[in-house]
């Protein structure tokens, strides 16, 4: 909806009819929009997962842009591309993400995806200072937060759970919101995925308009929230979140001219912090570069299966290190394209040599007679 509100008027002014499709549209709203897409009357559709539905048909879909690519599965992306017309060249795909998923980085190694890196912040935005603190210092954090909020700042407070659970000692948003209202004596908003959509949107609107100084939330604020005045984020039990999720959450602050801060609180003390969790938090503290964070995520979780649906995990490389040998693997992908372009059936002497290498180093090890 944010994209539609910002892009729609510009596209319409340029003579490009645009429609919005979401899962909340009523049948009466959907029918004319679907008809406009099917007939070609509408040239651009901006929407959510609703665009993947079989009922959505395009006259000549030529380009699909997927924002927040890490939130979509392989099948969903393929379903959108399948809506194109092969007679017009199929669908060009542009995916965007602040932190590409490991499988996406894996595909770049094979030359399947071309990569463009945007390394500069949008004009007017400032870097975010990130600090890592033990959960035991939460009282000190609350006191400093109170001072900042009294000075006109706005803040997010992120919890991993909605409600308290006997099976877990993690912070719950409902209980934390009540605690902070009592301690800070201010208006505190609460947003989580179990709330009715309209109620959650009203809470978010109050925060965006500045009527609520502090918003306690779960990861529902990970994407699609733009509040330039919000300059502080506290994430409880940050060691329980993934790298991409932490980077996306941190991206909710630093969207205006104010200096911004993100505090990552971890539980269990230094002795209770595992090595992988320690690396994740240290990576977030050290850099704001989403691609660098994605590469670290790749190292920790693996790149999945480039020929299948698995989006993380470690394929059985015999010799290669996908990160250390990135340049060599890209050169190999370029060379493979040249060979296939000149000799698609691998009949030349070089093609025969490629087949021998393929048999010798077949990592799936499913050829008869090979160990």
Q: How far apart are CA 119 and CA 292, in angstroms?
A: 11
Q: How far apart are CA 212 and CA 75, in angstroms?
A: 39
Report whether pLDDT(271) > 90. Answer: no
pLDDT at 370: 39
Report whether pLDDT(38) > 50. Answer: yes
More confident residue, 51 or 310: 51
Q: How far apart are CA 162 and CA 172, in angstroms?
A: 5
pLDDT at 318: 64
Does residue 301 sit within a domain? no
Mean pLDDT of 363-371: 45
Rounded alpha-carbon distances, angstroms, from residue 58 to 52, 62, 229: 11, 9, 39
Does residue 204 sit within a domain? yes
Mean pLDDT of 303-323: 58
Whether 136 and 278 share a structural domain = yes
Does residue 304 sit within a domain? no
Report whether pLDDT(267) > 70. Answer: yes
Least confident segment among 33-37, 112-116, 302-306, 308-312: 308-312
Rounded alpha-carbon distances, angstroms, from residue 46 to 73, 224, 327: 19, 14, 36
Mean pLDDT of 267-284: 82
User: Which of these three, 288, 319, 334, is where a domain ends?
Assistant: 288
Structure tokens at 130: 């990130």
More confident residue, 78 or 15: 15
Mean pLDDT of 338-360: 87
Report whether pLDDT(300) > 90. Answer: no
More confident residue, 210 or 99: 210
Whether 242 and 95 share a structural domain = no
- The number of residues making up the chain comes to 371
Whether 242 and 134 share a structural domain = yes
Percent of the chain with pLDDT over 90: 42
Q: How far apart are CA 46 and CA 36, in angstroms?
A: 13
Whether 13 and 63 share a structural domain = yes
Whether 150 and 253 share a structural domain = yes
CA-closest candidate to residue 222, choices 231, 233, 237: 233
For the chain, the domain total comes to: 2
| Biggest CA-to-CA distance, the chain | 79
Whether 89 and 162 share a structural domain = no
Report whether pLDDT(366) > 60. Answer: no
Report whether pLDDT(95) > 90. Answer: no
Mean pLDDT of 61-86: 81
**Do the Cβ atoms of 109 and 303 come closer than 8 Å?**
yes
pLDDT at 339: 87
Whether 66 and 205 share a structural domain = no
pLDDT at 303: 55
Does residue 116 sit within a domain? no
Whether 191 and 70 share a structural domain = no
Does residue 122 sit within a domain? no
Structure tokens at 348: 């030349």
Report whether pLDDT(283) > 70. Answer: yes
The secondary structure of 20-66 as a DSSP string is: EE-TT--HHHHHHHHHHHHHTS--EEEESGGGGSTT---SS--EEEE
Helices of type H across 221-343: 243-250, 275-286, 290-301, 326-342
Whether 52 and 142 share a structural domain = no
User: Which of these three, 109, 141, 166, is where a domain ends?
Assistant: 109
Phi-psi category of residue 200: left, alpha or beta, with phi > 0 → left and psi -120 to 50 → alpha:
alpha
Beta bridge partners of 94: 65
Does residue 83 sit within a domain? yes
Q: How far apart are CA 332 and CA 20, in angstroms?
A: 42
Rg value, the chain, Cα: 24
Phi-psi category of residue 289: left, alpha or beta, with phi > 0 → left and psi -120 to 50 → alpha:
beta
**Do the Cβ atoms of 327 and 310 come closer than 8 Å?**
no
Does the reported pTM lie above 0.85?
no
Centre a 10 Å sphere on the Cβ of residue 109 and count the other Cβ atoms it contains.
21
Domain that holds residue 272: 128-288
Does residue 369 sit within a domain? no
Does residue 331 sit within a domain? no
Q: For 159-175, how does the pLDDT look when each residue is reduced to its tens digit (9 = 90+)? A: 998 877 756 667 789 99
pLDDT at 337: 83
Structure tokens at 331: 């050169």
Whether 176 and 66 share a structural domain = no
Phi-psi category of residue 15: left, alpha or beta, with phi > 0 → left and psi -120 to 50 → alpha:
left
Q: How far apart are CA 212 and CA 155, in angstroms?
A: 9
Mean pLDDT of 26-51: 93
Q: What is the CATH number of the domain that holds 71?
A: 3.40.50.300
Whether 146 and 270 share a structural domain = yes
Q: For 216-258, how does the pLDDT look when each residue is reduced to its tens digit (9 = 90+)? A: 999 999 877 889 999 999 999 999 898 888 999 999 999 988 8
pLDDT at 101: 67
**Do the Cβ atoms of 156 and 252 come closer than 8 Å?**
yes
User: Which of these three, 239, 263, 288, is where a domain ends?
Assistant: 288
Whether 167 and 273 share a structural domain = yes
């Amino acid at each position: 909806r944010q994209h539609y509100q910002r892009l729609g008027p510009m596209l319409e002014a340029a003579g490009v009819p645009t429609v919005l499709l979401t899962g909340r549209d009523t049948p009466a709203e959907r029918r004319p929009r679907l008809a406009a897409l099917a007939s070609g009357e509408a040239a651009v559709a901006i929407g959510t997962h609703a665009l993947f539905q079989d009922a959505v048909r395009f006259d000549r879909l030529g380009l699909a842009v997927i924002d927040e690519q890490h939130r979509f599965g392989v099948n969903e992306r393929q379903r959108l591309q399948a809506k194109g017309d092969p007679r017009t060249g199929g669908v060009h795909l542009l995916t965007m993400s602040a932190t590409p998923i490991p499988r996406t980085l894996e595909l770049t190694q094979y030359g399947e995806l071309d990569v463009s890196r945007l390394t500069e912040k949008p004009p007017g935005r400032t870097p975010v200072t990130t600090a890592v603190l033990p959960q035991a210092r939460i009282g000190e954090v609350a006191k400093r937060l109170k001072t900042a909020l009294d000075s006109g700042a706005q803040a997010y407070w992120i919890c991993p759970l909605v409600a308290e659970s006997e099976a877990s000692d993690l912070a719950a948003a409902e209980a934390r919101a009540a605690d902070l209202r009592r301690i800070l004596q201010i208006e505190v908003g609460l947003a989580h995925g179990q709330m009715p959509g309209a109620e959650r949107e009203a809470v978010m609107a109050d925060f965006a308009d500045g009527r609520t100084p502090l918003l306690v939330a779960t990861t529902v604020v990970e994407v699609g929230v733009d509040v330039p005045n919000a300059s502080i984020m506290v994430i409880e039990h940050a060691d329980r979140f993934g790298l991409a999720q932490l980077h996306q959450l941190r991206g909710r602050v630093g969207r205006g001219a104010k200096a911004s801060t993100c505090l990552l609180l971890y539980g269990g003390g230094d002795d209770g912090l595992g090595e992988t969790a320690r690396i994740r938090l240290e990576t977030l503290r050290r850099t704001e570069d989403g691609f660098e964070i994605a590469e670290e995520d790749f190292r920790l979780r693996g790149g999945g299966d480039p020929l299948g649906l698995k989006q993380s995990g470690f394929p059985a490389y015999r010799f290669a290190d996908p990160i250390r040998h990135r340049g060599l693997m890209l050169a190999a992908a370029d060379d493979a394209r040249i060979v296939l372009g000149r000799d698609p059936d691998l009949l030349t002497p070089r093609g025969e040599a490629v087949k021998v290498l393929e048999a010798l180093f077949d990592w799936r090890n499913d050829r008869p007679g090979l160990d």
